[in-house]
Every structure is written in structure tokens, then in C-alpha cells.
Structure 1
Amino acid sequence: MPIELDLDDIQAGCLRGRPNPYAGAYLLLRIDDRRDGRTLMRRLVEAVHPASQMPDPLTHVSVSIALTHAGLQALGVPQDSLETFAPEFRQGMAARAAELGDTGPNAPEHWESPLGSTDVHVVILILAPDLAVFEATLQDTRAALDDLPGMSELWRQDVSSPVDGKNSFGFNDGISQPGVEGSGVRRSNRQEPALKPGEFILGYPDETGSVEPVPQPDVLGRNGSYFVFRKLYTDVAAFRRYLREQATGPGDEELLAAKIVGRWPSGAPLALAPDADDPELGADPARNNNFLYGDDPRGLKVPIGSHARRMNPRDSVVIGEVRLHRLIRRGATYGPPMADGAVEDDGADRGLMFAAVNAHLDRQFEFVQKQWIGDGKFIGTPGERDPLVAGREAGGQFTIPSRPIRRGLRNLPAFVVNRGGEYCFIPGLRALRWLGDLTT
């Protein structure tokens, strides 16, 4: 029997795609008076679209509302209810930093304020198809704070996507997403069956056949999701310099970059275009993610340890079950692009607001962060980590299989630094109204 989702109650941002291209922002708020916080919930719920609406990616506006554990406390959610949430969520990302590999420059003491603090209560993510629509939506959202002195805006991070969709490293991003049974969203890879909705939405069967316990009361937890975001600074200058230093001839820089990422800058996958970029393939959503890795067990086309293959090993032979660790990714680019050809740091803050929707923080986001990104044992390369996004204090290594002799890259710098993040809960629409109607 097909699984039916209560799409009228699920926030659209959990399952539906974002505008393309987009302009937007993350807003972080603190609740100083629970009565004003509850009023805000009642006001904001009117701006959130349900997942039952099928938006046009060229015109629609996306507004998502999430709360941290401290935010639920600040609203006055009873303690016995708070204790029914996942322990990772209750502890928060900062408390779990060492386990996640957030040490050295990535450690919470270096995070951008107020990330990782108990002051972050409400997270609002706004995405719109252009700057004018975004500014109007932002103005409307901030109007919800009018006459609420018990609410404080702490932080704003603008995000955007150029028309070509490329991230700060110059690669088309956000191509691969899992299908979700009952969502009505077309999966990006027709060769991979859709996943059970309980992998992403609470209250439904997951890939193990069980239903994750829903935070109580049921109206609060059902149809909600856990939401992770991290501000990841990207050292584009270091990335370009490293490629230049390692290149052996014309065209080798782009090839090395593609081997590290697992795709060409256009988004064309190495699995389908192993020898040269194919912009037409990269721009075709019917083809650019329609592949598996079973015909490339040694990684001659796509290195086993490349970023894209780590983030979704597909049918690769790995330790564990791939389908238990998938994420719906909602990353967004921030900061200005670096000038073409520049290899010296220009001092600009640029990178990725990584974001992911999942229902099991421990075996989804945390597993991916600790195992797929932070280790190599699951693919038989215990001395290697993700060559692109893994945090490093010392030089790393990356193997590029080839015939007759494999190629090894050594002393990889840290191309990405975590500037902070949060574990959040995205309530269903009924839950937002329930929070707004709390009285004790």
C-alpha cells in the first residue's frame, strides 16, 4: 500500500524545491517574553506554505520556520514534552562538536556569534526568486515582529544563487536529492527507488520498517522534521592555489577539481562524462543525476573518495546500508563570488549555508558527518577524509585511481571551515498553531 503523507500539515521547505535562482536570508531570533514568542508563532504560520502546494520554482517564495531546543523551552513547552525529542537535538550541535569533528579552527569557541549559544531560539529561512520579491517578503516577515518587544533579531545571513547555480567553488550544486514516497516530488535519479517518508518526516515508516517515536504531544511532533544548518566558510583561494600547484599540464586543474568533487563545474557527473565537461548534460535534470556507480567499482571514473561519491555512495560497495543515511539537502551560497582566475585571498566572507532535513539526527546527519565525510573506513581508505569539505588541522590525502598507476594528492589544506550551526526542529503547521496557543 502506498504511504499517504499529510502534506497539508508539513512545511513546504521540508519536501519542496527552492526557487531557482534565488535570493534569501537566514534570520535568527531570541525569545525574551514567551507571550510575544507565541504571538509570533501565530503570525508566522500564515506565511508558511504547506507541502501540498506544488510551487513553480521560477516564481514561488519559500518561508520556513524552525526552533531550537532552547526556543521550545523559551516558548514554555513543558519539560516532559521536551524530553521526548531526540537526545542529539536536546544537546545541540555545539555540545556535540568534538564528536562531529568540529575541533581546532572549527570548534565552537571560534564560531560566529550567536551560533551555538542558547540565545538562538527561532530560525526563519526566506528564499525568493529575485531580490525585489525577497526584500518585500523580508519586510512582511519583520512586520510580524512589530509591537513584540519580547522578540529580538540577533543575526542575519543573506544567501543567493546566480543564474548558473554555481557555488563558491565554481560548481553547479544541489543536483542530487532523494525521492520520498508519497511526496509527489519527482526523484532526481530514476535508478534509485524513493525512500520511505519516515527518513525525513516524523510519524511515518522509515527504511527499517519502523516509525521513529514522535515527540509528544502528538500534535507537536507529528509531521515535523529535524533541520540542521551550518555556516561553512570556503577558502576558494586555497582551493585554486592547490589545484595550480598539483596540475601537470593544461586542463589538469579542471580535471583535478572534478576528481575531488565528483562532477564537472557544469554539474555533469564524472560517471557519465569521465573525460571532459559536458555542459549540455550538466544542465539536463533528466540525465545529470541518472546514474549509479556499480560499473565503476575501482573509481576509475569517479574516485571512491570524491566528495559527491561520499555524500551519496549510491550502489557502491561500502560498509553499511546507504539508504539509512540519506539527507534532503537545502544548502545555499553566501558571499560574493571570487574573481575568475584569482588565487590570492580577497578577504571576503563566502561559502555555503549547509542545510539538511532528516528524521534521525544520529544515523543521518551525524553519521554522514562522522563517517562519510570524516573517515574513509567505509570505503576502504581509512587514512582519507572528504577532500573538499572535511575539516582539517593538518594536510590530508586523496587517491585518484587510474591506469597504470594511481595518482595520490598529499597535504590537502582545509578548504572549508565551520563557522557555526544549530540543530533545529521544523514543526508542522498544526504544531506552529499549537505553540502559538500555549497558555501556561
Structure 2
Amino acid sequence: MGLLSDLAARFRHERATLALDDIQALILRSRPEPYVGLHAMLRFDDAARGRDLVRRLAGHIPSAAGWTGDRAAWIGAAFSHQGLQALGVPQASLDSFPLPFRQGMAARAAQLRDVDGNAPAHWEAAFEPGNCHLALTIYARDEAALAEAREKALGELARSRGVTLVGSHAFGADADAKNPFGFRDSISQPAVAGSGVDPLPGQERAIAAGEFILGENSETGAPLAMPQPPELGRNGSFVVLRKYASRPGAFNDFVRDHADGADAQERLAAKMVGRWRSGAPLNLAPERDDPDLGADPARNNAFDFSGDARGFICPHASHMRRLNPRDGKLTILTDVNIHRIIRRSSTFGPKWRPDLTAADDGKEERGIFFIFISARAYDTIEFLQQEWINRGNFIDLGEERDPLVGLHEAPGTFTIPQDPVRRRVDGITTFNRLRGGEYLFMPSLAALRWIGAGGWA
């Protein structure tokens, strides 16, 4: 059962307390599996004409109210700070946004540790500061549904003046929903209180809606600060978009160089990720992959690390355990629930193959758009980049970095706890190179109409 059909089966309208008919579907609706789609980045060159496009696009963007699972495609829309500025949103409203959003992702490179090969100087033109004003994302079940949705969105653009398409990128994955390294992706998602969808086994409890939806109570018991006026901020959320060019051939080479035989190589790769390629977690399948487990959303997340305190099964340094420590003991204390994110990542390029080598990287474009949604998005991504991804102090590993998404300008190390002596695997390089990104605001449907109508006038 795919993520979308599973959510639809668990949705109970009578349990929903959120304003689902005002929240963009992309926030609370998971992508289908398999999926295809399109990211399009637009720049507003004329305020009035830009607002007219937003007004027309608003009619094509579905709400989260339709949890029946029968929609073949849907469109989401999110703005950069410079995009809202270009549309003429009043300065008082612009100033009410968080500082990182106002500055933009490129200006926050130091806080994000986007340096050296990941620095903004190496980003694609669509993500150069000031270029991406509006990001449109289309998810669809198949190419026919994508073509219909694309015609709606880009058809409105074609009928517009004063708006420029600065970049677009097709993406997609088959029913296995695997990322460029051959691992099932976006498995762990938080349950959102008030969404009408009960938590799955392993999700413990629903996270307070205000961690994801502005205007609702957060984990602190009160709403987080939101953009003003309420017509603009309420029922919206913040989005982090980061495009990575992946190097699966280099990853394959690393695994081959440090493990003898196919089984040992798969085990090392799983240790680095925290799951087998099917999505089966090491803590439920410690000896070998279990594809049935990996494909079952009722079981593939039903675990914690309480029985693996020393990391003998799933290393503390693995990608999955770093980014979702669950109930693991952290040296640097933090409330894990305020760093939960809704993932909407998308894979592009040919599928992973075991015979790929570093010499193949770059011949065909492979990668991932890392996209997540949270009312604390900017604090969260900067915390993740500084502490959980590009440092290891929180798990007593000093400067050791995430083996999959960490920036390794000098060859890095991956630590595998063992008894009596832990194993340190040296020579990790950067397997995902940042090619651009932006901090975005995803407004409610009412706010889209408010922006399109110039509601401040």
C-alpha cells in the first residue's frame, strides 16, 4: 500500500480539527507511489501581473480536505521573501517573517555550513539570490495526470506577462520510491494532531499541529509567531527546498572498497543509512533485508532505539538515527519533537544500479530535491546542518559527519560500534553536492487569494 492510499484509509473526517479546506494539500498529503512530477521556479517582473497569476493559480491548488486518495495530481505553491516583496506585499508584513526567511537561503550559508563545494557560488542559476520568487510543485500518479496538471499551472503562466520561468525540473520514482542510492525514501513522517489521521505503529503520538501549521498550538502549548496580518499567516507553513546532485557511483565505490562480497557491502550500506534498501530498518531486520517489512507502512517504522543503546544494531552515526534519534540518549539534549519535519522530497534521474562507479557520476543527472515543511523550518534546518549532519558532538563522535548528506571536503570517517573495539571506516567523501535552494513560505488557500487580490490595498 502506498503512502497516499494508506493515509486515505486511516483518515477520519470526524476526528479532524484543523481547517483542512484552507491548508494546501501538499502540506498534509503524502506523495503517491509511484510518482512523477515537476518543480518550476518563477520570477515576478511586474507586481500587478504577478498577483494576477497568483489569483488564477489559486483556483488550481487543492486543499488538504480531500483525503479520499482519488486525486491523480495536485499542485503546491510557495513564495520566497523576495517574491512576496516583488508582488507588493506591504513592508510591515514582510518584516513580520522570521529573519532567515527575509535573508534567504544563500545569505544563510554560514549558518547552514554551505561552504566550499556547497557554497552559493556553485549553485544553479534558478537559485541565485533574487531569481526564485515562486516555487510550484506538481505531484502526480502518472504521466497523463502530470500532463493535465502541468497544463493547468504552466498554462496560466503562458497566459501571463511580467512573470519569467527561471527553471524547471522533472522528477519521479517507481513503486519502490527509491532515492538515487537505491534506498526507499521518505518513510518516516510525523502524525499531525488534528489532521484526522491516527499515528502508525512507531509514531508514538501525534505531534502538536502548531509545529507544522501556523496559528495552531505547538509542542509548547501556544502558537508560534506567524506572519501578519492573520489573513496572510494563518494555516500556512514554511518550506525548505534544497537541490542535491547525487554521486551514487562514488557511494558504490566506497562500499566496495570497505567490504568484501555483495552481502557485506549491502550490510555496510545499510549501517550507513540505518535501513536496508527496501526500507526495512536494521532494528527490525538486523541480519538481512526484508522487502515485505520495508514496504509495509504499518511495520517499517514500529521501532525505537531503546534496546540498542550502544548502537550495535544501528550505529549512532547512521543517517537515519542522526536525523531522527527517536528515544535515543543524546549528549547534547534537545526536544526531538520540535525538530520533526514533514518530508516531501523527490528523486530525479535514472535509477540506482549496483555497477555504477565514480566514473559514471555526472554522465547523467541524478539527485534529490530535499524538501521539508515545518513551522520551525529555518531553525530546524540550521540546527540539523550545524549539529546533527555536520558534527558528531551530540552522539560523542566529535566532528564526524553524516555519512550520506554531510559535507566532507576532507575524507571523513564512519564509526560502527562493535565489541570489544569499534570499527572506524575512513575515506567518506561528499556523496550529495548542493546545487541550490531557497527558504519559502507556503500560504493557506485564503492567503493565496488575499495575495492575488492585493488584499492589503
Gaps of 5+ in 2: 1-14
Name the residue aligned to 2:226.
Answer: 214
Name the residue aligned to 2:394.
Answer: 378
Name the residue aligned to 2:339.
Answer: 325
- The CA deviation string for residues 45-81 of structure 1, in whole angstroms up to 9 with x for no partner, is 1111111110417x53121011100110011000011
The alpha carbon displacement at 1:209 in A equals 1.7
| Residue 374 to residue 55, structure 1, CA distance change in 2 (3 Å) | farther
Name the residue aligned to 1:368.
Answer: 384
SS in 1 for 2:48: helix
> Where do residues 211-250 of structure 1 align in structure 2 (5 Å cutoff)?
211-250=223-262
Q: Is the 8 A contact 2:378 2:439 kept in 1?
A: no
Q: Is the 8 A contact 2:18 2:195 kept in 1?
A: yes
2:404 matches 1:388: yes
| Residue 191 to residue 153, structure 1, CA distance change in 2 (3 Å) | closer
Name the residue aligned to 2:448.
Answer: 432
User: Counterpart amino acid of 2:30?
Assistant: G
Gaps of 5+ in 1: none
Q: Is the 8 A contact 1:30 1:152 kept in 2?
A: yes
Q: Is the 8 A contact 1:89 1:361 kept in 2?
A: no
For 2:447 and 2:161, how far apart are their aligned partners in 1? 24
The alpha carbon displacement at 1:312 in A equals 0.5
The alpha carbon displacement at 1:188 in A equals 4.0
Partner residue of 1:162 out of 169, 174, 177: 174
For 1:248 and 1:340, how far apart are their aligned partners in 2? 14
Q: Is the 8 A contact 1:18 1:62 kept in 2?
A: no
SS in 1 for 2:93: helix
For 1:15 and 1:191, how far apart are their aligned partners in 2? 16
For 1:85 and 1:361, how far apart are their aligned partners in 2? 12
Q: Is the 8 A contact 1:116 1:422 kept in 2?
A: no
- The CA deviation string for residues 346-384 of structure 1, in whole angstroms up to 9 with x for no partner, is 311111100000111343222122211111111111131
Name the residue aligned to 1:348.
Answer: 364
The alpha carbon displacement at 1:273 in A equals 0.5
2:67 matches 1:54: yes
* Greater alpha carbon shift after TM alignment, 130-139 vs 300-309: 130-139
The alpha carbon displacement at 1:189 in A equals 4.0
Runs of 4+ residues deviating >6 angstroms: none
2:24 matches 1:11: yes
RMSD of aligned alpha carbons? 1.5
Name the residue aligned to 2:118.
Answer: 106
The alpha carbon displacement at 1:3 in A equals 8.4
Name the residue aligned to 1:294.
Answer: 306
Partner residue of 2:163 out of 151, 157, 160: 151
| Residue 157 to residue 131, structure 1, CA distance change in 2 (3 Å) | same
The alpha carbon displacement at 1:191 in A equals 4.7
User: Counterpart amino acid of 1:383?
Assistant: E
* Greater alpha carbon shift after TM alignment, 291-300 vs 241-250: 241-250
SS in 2 for 1:424: strand
Partner residue of 1:270 out of 277, 282, 285: 282
Number of equivalenced pairs: 438
2:136 matches 1:120: no
SS in 1 for 2:410: coil
Name the residue aligned to 1:96.
Answer: 108
Identity of aligned residues (%): 46
SS in 2 for 1:411: strand
* Greater alpha carbon shift after TM alignment, 308-317 vs 181-190: 181-190
User: Counterpart amino acid of 1:269?
Assistant: P
For 2:16 and 2:195, how far apart are their aligned partners in 1? 9
- The CA deviation string for residues 388-415 of structure 1, in whole angstroms up to 9 with x for no partner, is 1111211111111122332111121111
User: Counterpart amino acid of 1:275?
Assistant: E
Higher share of residues assigned helix: 2
* Greater alpha carbon shift after TM alignment, 335-344 vs 177-186: 335-344
- The CA deviation string for residues 195-241 of structure 1, in whole angstroms up to 9 with x for no partner, is 00111111111112221122111100000100111101111110000
Instruction: State the TM-score, normalized to the length of structure 2.
Output: 0.93
SS in 2 for 1:8: helix
The alpha carbon displacement at 1:250 in A equals 4.4
